[in-house]
Amino acid sequence: MERVRRLARAALGVYVKEMKIWLRYPTWIFAFIALPYMLSGLFNGIGYSIAGPRAVENFARNTGVSNPFLFYTLGTALLLATEVLLQDVAYSIRSEQLLGTFELHYLAPAPTWLIWILYLFPHSTIMVVVLLATTLPVLAFSGVLSSPIDFLYACSVLALGMLPLLGIALALAALVVRYKEPGAVVSLVQSVVILLSGYFYPLTVFPAWVSALSQVLPTTHVISILRSLLLAGEGVSPLDRRLLTLLALAVAYPVIGLYSYRRWESEARRRGELSKY
């Protein structure tokens, strides 16, 4: 109990510090507010230009959803959440390395991997607030938010789907501890996840082997369940295959991620890499 209380203090410290730093570099907020709508507009534009006047009809036939704007806004919200989650730990570590504060965290008794994960909370708070502010009105206006229970269910699916991403994020963090500059690998992983999750199209547009591959991504299942719940108005049983897969990934990926992070971390302590940047 005392241990938990002590860790909670460290968590509070990280939270307050990151919020302050974010608020003192305030420009990112505009990007967050504008992005879901801008991207949704972008995809609608591309769609119309390719498919012409029959675009909406085609879209409804392919996706089973009649409102493309809603479809894309939900997709973009998830895209933003995925991007932030995948890159946040790696980029936080990177910026601490450059500041020279990375190594100092190893002088404190709290486990460092936990500290890095705690960085997600301040960043997620801001992201969730902004995303809810942008997507909730659209969802409410379109009448899809029929019951608050459905909405809560959707939120928990989302949270469950983020856990495996955390595992991938830790594995990326391990690479930063080892190779320092995370940009290229992080973007690559982000692109693969976004391409194969089907945020903006049903995966049936790809050959079968691509959809098979996409099954290892948690986000594929998340978006599929959310569409059933929010856009198609179908119920999803707790024993749904997609939900069970998600649960398995939510255990497996964090374990792998944590293992690889701790391995590289002790390797870094052996090689004297903690102070390098």
CA gap 22, 24 in Å, rounded: 5
Least separation in angstroms between residue 196's CB and another protein is 35
Q: Please select the residue that binds another protein; options are 106, 121, 141, 179, rule is CB under 8 A.
A: 106
Q: Which stretch binds another protein (CB under 8 A): 33-41, 84-92, 203-211, 264-272?
A: 264-272
Among 18, 1, 11, CA closest to 111? 11
Task: Specify whether the CB–CB gap between 28 and 22 falls below 8 A.
Answer: yes
Q: Please select the residue that binds another protein; options are 50, 107, 149, 239, rule is CB under 8 A.
A: 107
User: Could you identify the residue written with the tokens 């991207």?
Assistant: 39
Task: Specify whether the CB–CB gap between 170 and 254 falls below 8 A.
Answer: yes
Size of the site for another protein (CB under 8 A): 32
Q: Which stretch binds another protein (CB under 8 A): 11-19, 34-42, 71-79, 160-168?
A: 11-19
Q: Please select the residue that binds another protein; options are 31, 34, 104, 133, rule is CB under 8 A.
A: 104
* Contact flags string 18-37 toward another protein, x per CB under 8 A: --xx--xx------------
Among 248, 40, 239, 71, CA closest to 161? 248
CA gap 61, 73 in Å, rounded: 19
Per CB under 8 A, does 103 bind another protein?
yes
Among 127, 165, 157, 136, CA closest to 222? 157
Residue with smaller CB distance to another protein, 178 or 242: 178
CA gap 24, 63 in Å, rounded: 43
Binding site for another protein (CB under 8 A): 6-7, 9-10, 12-14, 16-17, 20-21, 24-25, 99-101, 103-110, 115, 266, 269-272, 274-275
